[in-house]
Amino acid sequence: MTQTAALDRPDVLTPLGQETLRRLMRSWFDFERRLGKVPILRRLDNGTFTREDHLALLRNLRPQVVEGARWIARCASSFDRDHADVRSLVIGHAQDEHRDYEVLERDYVALGGEISDIQSRPRNIGTEALHGYLMHRASQPNPVDLLGAMWIIEGIGDKMANNWADQIEELSKCGPEATRFIRYHGENDDSHLDKLYGMLDRTATTPERADAIVKTSKVVARLYALQLEEIDHV
C-alpha cells in the first residue's frame, strides 16, 4: 500500500504553489551568491583550491551528513495521521541517506586522510547552528516548513555534483575515488525535483505555510553557508 501517489509531479502547481516555488528559487539563488563569497569555495572558483581544502571540506561536511539522517527521521515522526503521505515520503528519504557518511569517509581515506581524524572531528560552530535549528524545526508538529530545508540541501547536493566535482578533482589532483560523495547526489535529480513539486502543492496550502517554507529555506541556507565559512572552527 502506498499513499505517495498524491505527491507525484502535478501538471500545474496551484497559484500559491507557483508563487512559493518562485520564492524558493530566489532563496536558492541568494544562497548560491552567498556561497560565492565563502573563502573555501571562492578558492574553488579562482583555481587556488588545494588537496588540504578538499580534506577540510570533507572533514567539515561529515558531522552534518551523519546528523542529516537524524533530523529527517525526527521530521518524519512529527507528522500526524493527516500527513501520512508526507511522512511516507520523508521516511523513504531518511532511509536513502542515513549511511551517506560512510561514502564520505571512504573519500577522505582515498585522498590520504586518516579515518580517525575525520571520525573524531566534532561539529564546527556552523554545523552546530545548522543541526540545532533542523532538530528544533523537525520536533514541531507537522513541520511542513522543512520542505524549505530539503530544497536547499537537495540543491547543494546537486550543485556539488554538477559544479564542484570536476573542479575539485582537477585542483586537488585526485581521482574519482575521492569525489564519490561529492558526485553522489547528481544522480536522480529529476525524480527528486518531481517529488518536490508534489510536496509543494501538498504543503504550501495556506499563505502562512508558504511563508514558513520560504523562511526555513532562508535560515537553512544561511546556516549551511556558515558551516562552510567556519571550516575547522570547532
Partner 1 sequence: MTAFITSTGRFLPGPAIGVDEVEDVLGLVEGKPSRLKRRILKSNGIETRHYAIDRTGRTTHSNTDMGVAAAEACLEESPLEAEDIGMLACATSQGDLPLPGFGSMVQGKLGIPSVELLSAHGICSSGTMALKAAYNTLRLGDQDTALVVSSELSSRMLKHTRYEAAGGHERMDFQTEFLRWMLSDGAGAMLLESKPRGRCLRIDWMRSFSHADAFPVCMQIGSPVDREDSRTWQDFPTYGEAEAAGALLIRQDLRLLENIVKLGVDGALRLIEEGTLDIQQISHFLCHYSSHHFKGKVYDMLEMAGALIPEDKWYTNLYTRGNTGCASIFIMLDEFLRDGRAAIGETILCMVPESGRFNTAYMHLTLVEA
- Taking CB under 8 A as the rule, does residue 37 contact partner 1? yes
The region of 11-19, 73-81, 107-115, 131-139 touching partner 1 under the rule CB under 8 A is: 11-19
Q: For residues 167 and 206, which CB has a smaller minimum distance to partner 1 in the complex?
A: 167
Q: Which of 29, 77, 102, 119 binds partner 1 (CB under 8 A)?
A: 29
Cα 8 to chain centroid, rounded: 21
Q: For residues 114 and 208, which CB has a smaller minimum distance to partner 1 in the complex?
A: 208
- Taking CB under 8 A as the rule, does residue 173 contact partner 1? no
Q: Which of 22, 99, 136, 173 binds partner 1 (CB under 8 A)?
A: 22
Residue 230 near residue 161 (C-beta atoms within 8 A): no
How far apart are the C-alpha atoms of 21 and 221, rounded to whole Å? 16
Q: In the bound complex, what is the minimum distance in angstroms from residue 175's beta carbon to partner 1?
A: 20
How far apart are the C-alpha atoms of 129 and 172, rounded to whole Å? 29
Cα 124 to chain centroid, rounded: 17
- Taking CB under 8 A as the rule, does residue 167 contact partner 1? yes
Output 95-99 pairs: Cβ under 8 A, ≥24 positions apart: 97/68, 97/69, 97/72, 98/69, 98/72, 98/73, 99/69
Q: In the bound complex, what is the minimum distance in angstroms from residue 173's beta carbon to partner 1?
A: 16
Which CA distances in Å does 189 have to 48, 53, 127, 139, 192? Answer: 29, 27, 25, 28, 5
- Taking CB under 8 A as the rule, does residue 25 contact partner 1? yes
What residues make contact with partner 1 under the rule CB under 8 A? Answer: 13, 15, 18-19, 21-23, 25-26, 29, 32-34, 36-37, 42, 45-47, 167, 189, 193, 197
